[in-house]
Amino acid sequence: VKFVYDFTEGNKDLKDLLGGKGANLAEMTNLGLPVPPGFTITTEACKVYLDSGDEPAALRDEVTAHLDALEAKMGKKLGQADDPLLVSVRSGAKFSMPGMMDTVLNIGLSDKSVQGLAKQSGDDRFAWDSYRRLIQMFGKTVLGVDGELFEDALEKAKQAKKVTVDTDLDAAELKKLVTKFKKIVKTEAGRDFPQDSREQMDLAIHAVFDSWNTDRAKLYRRQERIPGDLGTAVNVCSMVFGNLGPDSGTGVAFTRDPASGQQGVYGDYLQNAQGEDVVAGIRNTVPLAELEQLDKKSYDQLMQIMETLETHYKDLCDIEFTIERGQLWMLQTRVGKRTAGAAFRIATQLVDQGLIDEAEALQRVNGAQLAQLMFPRFDEDAKVEQLGRGIAASPGAAVGKAVFDSYTAIKWSRSGEKVILIRRETNPDDLDGMIAAEGILTSRGGKTSHAAVVARGMGKTCVCGAEDLEVDTKRRRLTVNGHVVEEGDVVSIDGSTGKVYLGEVPVVPSPVVEYFEGRMHAGADDADELVKAVHRIMAYADRVRRLRVRANADNAEDALRARRFGAQGIGLCRTEHMFLGERRELVEHLILADTDEERENALKELLPLQKKDFIELFEAMDGLPVTVRLLDPPLHEFLPDITELSVRVALAESRKDHNENDLRLLQAVHRLHEQNPMLGLRGVRLGLVIPGLFTMQVRAIAEAAAERKNAKGDPRAEIMIPLVGTVQELEIVREEAEQVIADVERATGVHLKLALGTMIELPRAALTAGQIAEAAEFFSFGTNDLTQTVWGFSRDDVEASFFTAYLEKGIFGVSPFETIDKDGVGKLVRDAAAAGRATRPDLKLGVCGEHGGDPESVHFFHEVGLDYVSCSPFRIPVARLEAGRAAS
């Protein structure tokens, strides 16, 4: 195998092998763009290194061969004393992991070659600045020296000279700093800073490999669901210098605004700077547009290149570039991250520009982004006290208590507090705190700062660069125009406008929700651009999707909302909700009944109430299927809590105040008590042991349907039996139900077509689905219970007790209650669907339960050929969108 590729050999489709950065550097090279020459070491080499602890045997020679070629091209040798070739050693995995991996610049400098560089460039200051940067980066990332030590030394040097920015340090001072830095390395790492260039390079390559497995990188991957075994590629790239004086500099740019999708000139530029300076917020950057005044030629060339890249990648790109004495160099590009709103807008803009078609546009957005756009926003009319304003870096409305360090953010959020993490700027060490916080607020850095990039990636609200805010992390407070915000004070931040408020600002629904609710029309002239984009993409998704989308709804109000959101029926109406409130007493009568007569009376009283519920529901869903599930939970859930009741009875006893009803209730609670109610008397089992219960419910459904028909309605009820494990259970219930339906038909003279089916939520049901289909006209996979029973997990307990440990150990990347476990639970669904259809080709198949609204699961259900998914009303647009994406 080949472990090293020259930039001229790769292309953008080799991300698995060359990582995103390497693949795109190759692509730009082959597009003829000005990329400093270099080569990429593959992820395969990294995997061998991580698995075996050593680099593959062939790697060294391959690197040597590519380095030789690079030196020949550049006409100088790595670290050559009189005129050194310098390189950067850069990580680059398949997925971009901002700030996660480590890059070392200026490799090839040593006590000797720094002199050569000074002479060649005619700039002493530049040479020593580059050298001190090398020792600093190398010391920190390769030798593991605490970076603060270098920062402190640099700070002291500046203080001694009474200057505030590092560019004000001259060559002599930087030279002294180099001596200091080398001392730090010696004491901290126990070795000298290596003077041999090849050794520097090899150590840096290994450090990049190793950085794949830092805690920070692991945490980020888990968050973003990036597999842990991909490894990173390593790019060795000849150096270009943005720190060669005022006609040099470095910058970042986007081909359009990653927050709104608007086309234009977006980016930051910093004169006389290298590498990370521009995103680290060390000195103040200028907006990219100002580069036009500073260096018109480079600016024009950059604009040209940005257009080339957009047309080539057919998408928003972000870019890192450096200008060395008036010569522009491209150092990185990739399809850029963007906010959820921008994703929709950019997708439709690109369609309008003829760059992509609608099918492609649908792939450019996803359900998680849509869900994010449905979050509420701050109420613009609310009376608010604005503290200041920063850059709108990642949208959303976040409210929480101010905290000034990650530790506190984590601690407070664990105890249930909402917090806003406030920092001067963030760095990768803040990641845990950023995850814990509702939102992130910084006083420094632009749209491309660490805080902004990471927050956008996580879909977390962020305002950055709010420069009026004086953040004092040591004293844990924030001062702004005379206001002091202490740790624990509530603040609100608006990531869409950049505004920062004191106190809690009330929120209002998002325009996207207003649109789905029908209160805002995409066709209106003044319609929000975002709403127009969402409307177009949803229309396309609806056109191509095969899966139908239904709602889980128990009452008319939810049903109506679900319909507005595009539901094509109800996939799960839970009847237990109809047994709560004031009806509890009737249910108690049912449970306490000693005689058939008492029980029948209780049921008789429940019948009209249930019937009324169903009439309303069928009316709300007129013309669309409504699947009604017969009673599922164990009966004791309708009885008072055992401890409460015991206390009440005991108190009454002590007062010699005898309450017959409470005593009987207590007996019933004891009688019905189960060790494992989840596996106890519930679902179809209730129907089989409590005479008249299911038939009452069936009667209520049938009579309600008949009444709707008489009122010229079009009710489409489907009766669903829960927790069936064997076809015999279903046959008994079915026979009784059919009699009741026939009864109602006779009595009302209305012909009813009521489908009868079952949930598949026990492994045995799935395993015998072929038999069960003989008695069922439809299956609805109850993947919540199926997950519990297949894994043997109690959902109510495991999430708190050991799921975190499981997630940390990577046993699963995401809870199987959130995304369907395709290999286990999913296999049962797939096989049961096939077996059911083999028995009954027109068997209708659906899924109800949380998974019905989960993007990844929706794709799975599409793939195994279900007819519909059912989810909560709010998730319906997400399911529609993902069903469309799955089908296109």
State the residues that interact with ligand ADP by CB under 6 A.
36, 88, 90, 103, 105, 237-240, 275-276, 320, 322, 331-332
- In the complex, minimum distance from the CB of residue 43 to ligand ADP, in angstroms, rounded to a whole number: 15
Q: Which does 620 bind (CB under 5 to 8 A by kind): ligand ADP, Mg ion, none?
A: none
Q: Which residue is nearest to Mg ion (CB)?
A: 785
Catalytic residue among 66, 450, 535, 636: 450
- In the complex, minimum distance from the CB of residue 289 to ligand ADP, in angstroms, rounded to a whole number: 20
Q: Which does 872 bind (CB under 5 to 8 A by kind): ligand ADP, Mg ion, none?
A: none
Q: Which does 117 bind (CB under 5 to 8 A by kind): ligand ADP, Mg ion, none?
A: none
Is the CB of 43 or the CB of 333 nearer to Mg ion?
Answer: 333
Contact positions vs Mg ion (CB under 5 A): 320, 332, 761, 782, 785
Read off φ and ψ for residue 656, nearest 5 degrees: 55, 30
Is the CB of 332 or the CB of 369 nearer to Mg ion?
Answer: 332
Quote the DSSP letter at residue 814.
Answer: S
- In the complex, minimum distance from the CB of residue 110 to Mg ion, in angstroms, rounded to a whole number: 26
Quick count: other Cβ atoms within 10 Å of Cβ 162?
7
Is the CB of 333 or the CB of 768 nearer to Mg ion?
Answer: 333
Q: Report the residue count for the chain.
A: 888
Q: Which does 785 bind (CB under 5 to 8 A by kind): Mg ion, ligand ADP, none?
A: Mg ion
* CA angle (763 as vertex; 761, 765 as ends), nearest 5: 70
- In the complex, minimum distance from the CB of residue 364 to ligand ADP, in angstroms, rounded to a whole number: 23
- In the complex, minimum distance from the CB of residue 471 to ligand ADP, in angstroms, rounded to a whole number: 24
CA dist list (Å): 35 to 199, 269, 842, 861, 872: 25, 18, 60, 45, 50
Beta strands in 19-94 (DSSP E): 38-41, 87-93
Q: Which residues contact 57 (CB under 8 A, 6 or more apart)?
A: none
* Angstrom distance (rounded) from CA 402 to CA 404: 7
- In the complex, minimum distance from the CB of residue 448 to ligand ADP, in angstroms, rounded to a whole number: 10
Is the CB of 130 or the CB of 406 nearer to ligand ADP?
Answer: 130
What is the chain's Cα-based Rg? 33
Active site residue 848: yes
- In the complex, minimum distance from the CB of residue 134 to ligand ADP, in angstroms, rounded to a whole number: 12
Q: Which does 275 bind (CB under 5 to 8 A by kind): Mg ion, ligand ADP, none?
A: ligand ADP
If residue 479 lies in a helix (H) or strand (E), which one and from where to where? strand 477-480
Please answer whether residues 543 and 549 qualify as being in contact, where contact means their C-beta atoms are separated by less than 8 angstroms.
no
Q: Which does 455 bind (CB under 5 to 8 A by kind): ligand ADP, Mg ion, none?
A: none
- In the chain, the amino acid numbered 454 is V
Please answer whether residues 724 and 730 qualify as being in contact, where contact means their C-beta atoms are separated by less than 8 angstroms.
yes
* Angstrom distance (rounded) from CA 420 to CA 857: 32
Is the CB of 237 or the CB of 512 nearer to ligand ADP?
Answer: 237
Q: Which does 41 bind (CB under 5 to 8 A by kind): ligand ADP, Mg ion, none?
A: none
* Angstrom distance (rounded) from CA 479 to CA 101: 34
SS3 labels along 230-280: CCEEEEEEECCCCCCCCCCEEEEEEEECCCCCCEEEEEEEEECCCCCHHHH
Burial 828-856 (b: 16+ CB within 10 A, else e): bbbebbebbbeebeebbbbbbbbbbbbbb
- In the complex, minimum distance from the CB of residue 550 to ligand ADP, in angstroms, rounded to a whole number: 44
- In the complex, minimum distance from the CB of residue 761 to Mg ion, in angstroms, rounded to a whole number: 5
Structure tokens belonging to residue 719: 């009766």
Is the CB of 202 or the CB of 320 nearer to Mg ion?
Answer: 320
- In the chain, the amino acid numbered 737 is A
- In the chain, the amino acid numbered 595 is T
| Dihedral sign for Cα atoms in the order 470, 471, 472, 478 | positive
Q: Which does 105 bind (CB under 5 to 8 A by kind): Mg ion, ligand ADP, none?
A: ligand ADP
Read off φ and ψ for residue 397, nearest 5 degrees: -120, 115
Is the CB of 334 or the CB of 880 nearer to Mg ion?
Answer: 334
| Dihedral sign for Cα atoms in the order 827, 830, 834, 840 | positive
Is the CB of 332 or the CB of 575 nearer to Mg ion?
Answer: 332
State the pairing for strand pair 548-552/507-508: unpaired
Is the CB of 279 or the CB of 541 nearer to ligand ADP?
Answer: 279
SS3 labels along 832-883: HHHHHHHHCCCCEEEEECHHHHCHHHHHHHHHCCCCEEEECHHHHHHHHHHH
Is the CB of 275 or the CB of 566 nearer to ligand ADP?
Answer: 275
Q: Which does 782 bind (CB under 5 to 8 A by kind): Mg ion, ligand ADP, none?
A: Mg ion
Is the CB of 96 or the CB of 372 nearer to Mg ion?
Answer: 96
Read off φ and ψ for residue 831, nearest 5 degrees: -70, -40
Is the CB of 277 or the CB of 785 nearer to Mg ion?
Answer: 785
Q: Which does 367 bind (CB under 5 to 8 A by kind): ligand ADP, Mg ion, none?
A: none
865 torsion bin: left (phi>0), alpha (psi -120 to 50), beta (else)? left
Burial 516-550 (b: 16+ CB within 10 A, else e): beeebebeeeeebbbbbbbbbbbebbeeebebbbb
Please answer whether residues 505 and 514 qualify as being in contact, where contact means their C-beta atoms are separated by less than 8 angstroms.
no
Q: Which does 237 bind (CB under 5 to 8 A by kind): Mg ion, ligand ADP, none?
A: ligand ADP
If residue 174 lies in a helix (H) or strand (E), which one and from where to where? helix 171-189
- In the complex, minimum distance from the CB of residue 674 to Mg ion, in angstroms, rounded to a whole number: 16
Question: Dihedral, CA atoms, 518, 524, 528, 529, nearest 10 degrees?
Answer: 120
Q: Which residues contact 56 (CB under 8 A, 6 or more apart)?
A: 3, 45, 48, 49
Catalytic residue among 46, 462, 464, 848: 848
Structure tokens belonging to residue 267: 């980016």
Q: Which does 818 bind (CB under 5 to 8 A by kind): Mg ion, ligand ADP, none?
A: none
Is the CB of 103 or the CB of 697 nearer to ligand ADP?
Answer: 103
Active site residues: 450, 848
